[in-house]
Amino acid sequence: MLPDRPVLRRSELDALPAWIEAARTDGAIAFIDKAEEWTSFDVVAKLRSLIRVKRVGHAGTLDPLATGLLVVCCGRATKDIAQIQDADKEYVVTVRFGATTETDDRGSAEQIRTNDVHIDRDVLEKIISERFLGSITQIPPSYAAIRHNGRRQYDLAREGKEFVPRPRHVDVFRINVDAIHGQNVTMTIACSKGTYIRSLARDIGEALGYGGYVWDLRRTKIGDINVDDAVTIQDVISRVQQQQSDNGVAA
């Protein structure tokens, strides 16, 4: 799945100068552990500025409130983005039941449905196995980066424009219920590209009769790439600054 290019990963952070040179010449790939509140574009823009490469892109958007693995392609490696995007994904998500939000995550105000939430593991797992595994159809969140008639849905939603998100077909391979804490349930989800975890949280909540939304979301895998191998943007900033200090010139 991963093209044969230099990769910036946690175990090879000391080789950052050589990786930057490769990014500027033949192209290179970075495994980034995105922090909360950063958009995927923020990560791309910061990396572009740090390594001074014009062409930088990511292989699959993460929501601003989500954390975890973002694969960033630099220079000539941007032509590999589609190949990486096609890989299956894995997420760890905490869903809060008993309420909904406009954005299907904690980025907007709660609309309380009930304070009487009792999650039965057997019931939850039965609903998941019967309705949310295999090839399914889901409606993307209104606030999503997907385009609707040429415009980003989140732009239309913020402007108060009325539109109906188009259904999409995705594959959900596995949903493990990892922990139940009151109205919060943590699950590990393995799925195909294009799957909206916020939609799964919303729809599972509806199936339970409680409503639900994403409280916490972390992407842990893209294909065989694990977030444990990723570096943070702060890691890169610190190393670039150290390199500048050591050399007395800009990196």
Active-site amino acid positions:
63
Strand 67-74 to 212-222 pairing: parallel
| Share in percent of the chain as helix, strand, coil (round to 5) | 35, 30, 35
Please compute, for residue 186, the number of CA atoms within 13 A of its CA located in the half-sphere on the CB side.
7
Helix residue ranges, H only, the chain = 16-25, 40-51, 81-85, 121-131, 153-158, 197-208, 233-247
Angle CA(246)–CA(249)–CA(251) in degrees, nearest 5? Answer: 85
81's torsion region: left (phi>0), alpha (psi -120 to 50) or beta?
A: alpha
Contact in structure between 33 and 219 (CB atoms under 8 Å): no
